[in-house]
Amino acid sequence: MNPDKSLTDKELKDNSEVLRAIFETAIDCIIVINHRGIIQMANQATISLFGYDQNELIGQNVKMLMPEHHQVQHDQYLDSYIKTGHARIIGIGRDEKGRRKDGSLFPMRLAVNEVQVEGNRFFAGIIQDKTNLRAAEAEIERMNRELERKVIQRTLELEEKNSQLIQINDTLNREIKERQQIESILRDNERELQHALEKEKELNELKSRFVSMASHEFRTPLSTIQSSAGLISRYPETEQQAQRSRHIDRIKSSVNMLTGILDDFLSLAKLEEGRITLTPEPFVFDDLANEVLDELKNNLKAGQTTILESEAPGYQLFQDRNLLKHVLYNLLSNAVKYSAEGKPIHLRTKMKDASFSFEIEDHGIGIPVQDQAHLFTRFFRAKNVTNIQGTGLGLNIVRQYINLMGGEIRFSSIEGKGSCFKIRLPVDPQGPSIV
């Protein structure tokens, strides 16, 4: 015996035993059939899965392991493949149904390959039982459906909660908006109430000032009228006419004083009620200024002079002449009233860049710094003029008249040295003219 050949036979035998062991212990089913579909070999996994004994399988057609409706098709397919070589399963693999001995069906994965041994054609099929896999897949599918159901349910719950939150949020927004509106109304009412209280306080202060002013300003001229009227009766003789005339002049002066006070009250009332309207007309400013200066001659103190300094004699304004006359008269009479004897009073007119302005400067008692901010307030009088007759209305009326005419008024003053009031007025829209 050739030892090399004996060794080769032994190795072949060993290899065959190894392959047989692998074949028998494989987890998956392994079935070998011939070209006619007859089972040649079946491992232990096949026996266990299909429920047949080994001798019940070997030599039988493999279609016994298939559902009845596949058995005829299998013979036809195998015959077609042998003749044409066209494969639909061999070398491809697909999911099929297996049939156990007891007739029950189960899902399986079938993979078939062709094997040729010594010129003979065999087909080895590997079968995987997918029962547990299908069950797992079914469970996964069930769990997915359950998860999807829960997701939908949770989504619906969240949508409902979200809808509730939106409703709550809308309600809160409405309540907040309503509260803000109420707070706004309350603030407005509070401001209106505060304004009303301040207005009432202001009116009370004005009333107190008015009563104080009226009791003082009316008392002096009325007392003068009363005393002069009584004294006139003491001079019945013709040769006593001079004494009578002196008292008559005092009565006239007091009446004029009362008339001026009443005129201020009437002017203020008309301004408050909006009953003063502008009546513009063309006139020469210097003519109006000289007219007012002439009316004030009798009011001048000893040595006082009024000086008109005009940069544009004959300048023609288009304004309300009566209102401007009142402004001039008030400012000039104040300059006379609050200046000492022998002091000059200047009225200057100026032209600059087609703008007309005038200023009135005196060298009188001036205005204390702490009083200047209140100078145009109704019934206000500076602390250094309490012994000089006045209503405290004149400058307030002057400023309102100037505002009506579209102008502006400013002043500068030093206590003990004098004051200067400056007024700027708009010109005629067609431009200034000289006549």
Q: How confident is the model at residue 390 (pLDDT cuts 50, 70, 90)?
A: confident
Burial of 292 (0-12, 13-18, 19+ CB in 10 A): buried
Q: State pLDDT tens for residues 73-124.
A: 887 888 788 788 777 677 777 888 999 999 999 999 988 888 888 888 899 8
Distance CA 383, CA 300 (A): 23
Choice between 313 and 252, residue whose per-residue pLDDT is larger: 313
Q: Mapped to the 3 state alphabet, what secondary structure does 297-315 carry? A: HHHCCCCCEEEEEECCCCE
Burial of 424 (0-12, 13-18, 19+ CB in 10 A): middle
Query: What local confidence, expressed as pLDDT, does residue 434 receive?
Result: 35
Q: Is residue 399 part of a domain?
A: yes
Maximum C-alpha span of the chain: 199
| Long-range pairs of 81-86 with CB within 8 A, sequence gap ≥ 24 | 82/35, 82/121
Q: Give just the sign of the alpha carbon dihedral 83, 87, 90, 96.
A: negative
Q: At what angle do helices 394-404 and 241-273 cross, to 10 degrees?
A: 50
Q: State pLDDT tens for residues 124-147.
A: 899 999 988 878 888 888 888 988
Query: What local confidence, expressed as pLDDT, does residue 29 receive?
Result: 92
- Return the number of other C-beta atoms located less than 10 Å from residue 223's C-beta: 11
Cα distances (angstroms) measured from residue 133 to each of 26, 140, 144, 331:
18, 10, 16, 114
Q: Is residue 379 part of a domain?
A: yes
Choice between 165 and 406, residue whose per-residue pLDDT is larger: 406
- The answer to whether residue 253 scores a pLDDT higher than 70 is no
**β-bridge pairing 344-352 and 305-310:** parallel
Distance CA 157, CA 152 (A): 8
Choice between 266 and 124, residue whose per-residue pLDDT is larger: 124
Q: Is residue 26 part of a domain?
A: yes
Distance CA 431, CA 311 (A): 17
Query: What local confidence, expressed as pLDDT, does residue 298 receive?
Result: 86
Q: State pLDDT tens for residues 333-356.
A: 999 999 999 999 999 999 877 678
| Long-range pairs of 56-65 with CB within 8 A, sequence gap ≥ 24 | 56/101, 57/31, 61/36, 61/37, 62/31, 62/33, 62/37, 62/38, 62/125, 63/37, 64/99, 65/31, 65/98, 65/99
Tokens at residue 278, please? 């502008």
Pick from 373, 375, 361, 374: nearest CA to 417: 361
Radius of gyration (C-alpha) of the chain in whole angstroms: 63
Q: How confident is the model at residue 12 (pLDDT cuts 50, 70, 90)?
A: low
Q: Is residue 137 part of a domain?
A: no
Q: How confident is the model at residue 163 (pLDDT cuts 50, 70, 90)?
A: confident
Q: How confident is the model at residue 1 (pLDDT cuts 50, 70, 90)?
A: very low
Q: State pLDDT tens for residues 25-84.
A: 888 999 999 988 999 999 999 999 999 999 999 999 999 999 988 887 887 888 788 788
CB distance 332 to 296 below 8 Å: yes
Per mean pLDDT, which range of 75-89, 368-382, 405-419 is the poorest? 75-89
Query: What local confidence, expressed as pLDDT, does residue 428 receive?
Result: 58
Q: Is residue 411 part of a domain?
A: yes
Distance CA 287, CA 308 (A): 11
Q: Which domain holds residue 18?
A: 3-129
| Long-range pairs of 37-41 with CB within 8 A, sequence gap ≥ 24 | 37/61, 37/62, 37/63, 37/74, 37/75, 37/78, 38/62, 40/122
Domain end residue (candidates: 95, 129, 163):
129
Query: What local confidence, expressed as pLDDT, does residue 435 receive?
Result: 31
Pick from 331, 330, 323, 315: nearest CA to 280: 323
Choice between 405 and 252, residue whose per-residue pLDDT is larger: 405
Give the whole-number percent of the chain exceeding pLDDT 70: 84
What's the CATH code of the domain at 17? Answer: 3.30.450.20
Domain end residue (candidates: 79, 110, 129):
129
Q: Find where tokens 């011939």 sit.
A: 34
Query: What local confidence, expressed as pLDDT, does residue 81 receive?
Result: 80
Q: Mapped to the 3 state alphabet, what secondary structure does 329-355 carry? A: HHHHHHHHHCCCCCCEEEEEEEEECCE
Distance CA 301, CA 152 (A): 105
Give the whole-number percent of the chain exceeding pLDDT 90: 36
Q: Find where tokens 């288009």 sit.
A: 318
What's the CATH code of the domain at 348? Answer: 3.30.565.10
Q: Find where tokens 């107190």 sit.
A: 208
Query: What local confidence, expressed as pLDDT, does residue 79 receive?
Result: 79
Q: Is residue 195 part of a domain?
A: no
Query: What local confidence, expressed as pLDDT, does residue 267 receive?
Result: 67
Choice between 244 and 165, residue whose per-residue pLDDT is larger: 165
CB distance 402 to 423 below 8 Å: yes
Burial of 350 (0-12, 13-18, 19+ CB in 10 A): middle
Tell me the range of 49-53, 163-167, 314-318 where mean pLDDT is highest.
49-53
Total of domains in the chain: 2
Q: What is the DSSP letter of 426?
A: P
Q: Is residue 260 part of a domain?
A: no
CB distance 30 to 42 below 8 Å: yes
Domain end residue (candidates: 89, 106, 129):
129
Q: Is residue 73 part of a domain?
A: yes
Q: How confident is the model at residue 208 (pLDDT cuts 50, 70, 90)?
A: low
